[in-house]
Structure 1
Amino acid sequence: MTDTRLLACIDAIYDAGLDPEYWPTALGRVSEATASVGALLIPVYPREAIPLVVADTLAEASRDYAAGWSRYDSRVVACHRMDAPRPGLLITDAMLFTPEEMARDPFYQDFLRRHGLGFGAFRFIADGDGALTSVSILRGFGRGMFEADELRRVELVSGHLARALGVNARLAQAQRRAGDLEDAIEHLETGLILLDGLGRARFVNAAARHLLGDGLELGRDRRPTATRPAERPRLAALLAAAAMGRSSGPLLLARARGGPPLHLDAVPIRGRGPTADTLSAAAGTRHGIMLLLRDTAPSAPVGIAEQLRQLGLSPAQARVAELVGQGLAPSDVAETLGLGIATVRTHLKAINAVLGLARQGELVALVTRLSTWTRHGRPRSRGETIR
């Protein structure tokens, strides 16, 4: 497995993020990048969020599964016993059954073996707009369990899949309202800035124009820059990663005048098709960047947990984030919410991924800022930053 395969996989994922017809091809690339024989995207809730998407290598097995074997999928039952699904959770067969149980299970021995399939890894991802999807990656029969480094690659790929699905959802929603794609992009509720190959803004939609000036602005050369000098290296890293077809986001960008931060994500513009063509034309290149901006300030005073949900966390993650952000240790959070400590740590890992945080201190700073905004409508200290 080489980095070339991983980069090709990430490019294909963002192709599909702009044009859903490329999802089967993208899942084929996911299979190659994770040393598996096939991958699937399965909607968890709401069921209609996305259609079931299957890599071409799993087409026959998928038909067989839909024709009756879905009723005997013991993994689904076992997942629910583990308090799954929830965003960020990564599950493998070894977490669900013992080798002896799998040796006696008809689903493993009759269905999977017949189609040359072996053990799997399953990660639940949230698209940032409330939809939950399962990324299912299956190894070939006889390959054994996923190794630790392979699971890390599954987690990495899953993050890109979540962002691409979020782009799918936002563009589709805007297009349903507006009809015409160009009009939909202009009136997208999420702020959108299209950058050319030199990082200059070529298109800024209405929502982005409204958000510019505090936290993020465009310089004289039309390149995005953070209002606060301390935030500029983080923004530069986000854009540099997107230019290379990777991602280091999302990013919470502190505002100069205080208040809740801007939520930024950068997605490379790749691929073919109507959506990609429209965005590429607006950016002036097929290798541009789509910078997405979201205002985290609530339109009316709401609780901390609700504000955290607006940032893309699930209800359970928001409760954990609020308590940890208030200074409680993970063990105390587990006791307060009646959860296992392992579940709390799993939630924290997912919270950091969704919010683009690296340390618990950053979560404390964010919750403190949100708390002050909730009480007073403005931050307590303009010098406070989110780090």
Structure 2
Amino acid sequence: MEQAYAVEDLIGGIYDAAADPDMWANAIGQIVEATGCRTGVFYEHDLATHQSQPLGFHRFNTEFMQEYVAHYGALDPWNARVMQWPVGVAAPTYALMPEEEFRRTEFYQDYLRRTGAFYGLGGLVERADGRIAVFGVQRGYEDGRFSAESVALVGALMPHLKRAYRMHSAIGQARRDRETFEETLRLVPQSVLIVDRDARLVFANDAAGRMLAAGDGIRLSAGRLGAAHRDDREAFAALLNPAGALVETGAVAALRRPLNRRPLLVQAVPLRINGRFDPAGRIVLLIDLDPPARPSPDRLAALFGLTAAEARLWADLATGATLAEIARRRQVSVNTLRVQLAKLFDKVGVHRQADLVRRAMELRGPEPER
């Protein structure tokens, strides 16, 4: 039975889920109840690999969704039919495929029938970068077809689902980039720190943590970073406020160290996000940092049986480049790189970009002479 929900509440739940992925199940559940349905799901489908990944679902158990990801998503006839439907337009599944034809599919007989679902209502939320995002709510055969009000409601929600999906994707990519960035920095042997303009410590890799613990040129006091030697504190404070020409390249200071060791060279560079200075004013401190050596693609290819393109992609990722940057440089699509990346994961035996970078760091070495 359809439940009365204010459209504003449903829209608010969608945008809440865009910011917090754990809330997708609740947002989908509200739409399920508002349309008198049994279940609901919002998922991504990769057109190259034919793999699906749920963003959120309601009244499907986790094991059932894992089966969809592992096998049945590739057999879902609605995925193929919805590709012919305009983006952002809600439609019942019987408008996409005759009921009797759907009933005979392996997808329905071996998979969906176990849930009691037969009819679906939803559509293509987004198509971009070789992926589609699909939203749908489902009813049983005995529940009958969807009311005109339910079709209109889901149709009204589709533009908001699209915007929320874009927000969700952007936030997720930023989170993954940050995790990969931090995990990569933890592996480098030189010390790297990130602070705000008030010198509060935001991040320190393992090497920097050891340096701070030893008071080796720098120290941490009440959560703020400073020079270990009192005569260097003014020079260190100036690092956090680079001005004029130094705003682009950062400033450098030589700090005193214990036991008359050579000075500690510290370079401060304002952090950039998408080409612009970080509005939070965060600064990266590079301490005696040498640029990471690019691993040899030839060596990676020989060790793991990679194609030349896969080996070059791995080598570029190991230097901190993003898929978007590599795609622009090579003049290929991001989706092409995603396909290569999936094959890399399989051949190397890892599941994340951070793990690829870690393996490359373990194997790094200079390019062979040509």
Would you say same fold, with TM above 0.5?
A: no
TM-score normalised by the chain length of structure 1: 0.40
Q: Which of structures 1 and 2 has the larger relative contact order (alpha carbons within 8 angstroms, sep 6+)?
A: 1
> Could you say which structure has the larger radius of gyration?
2
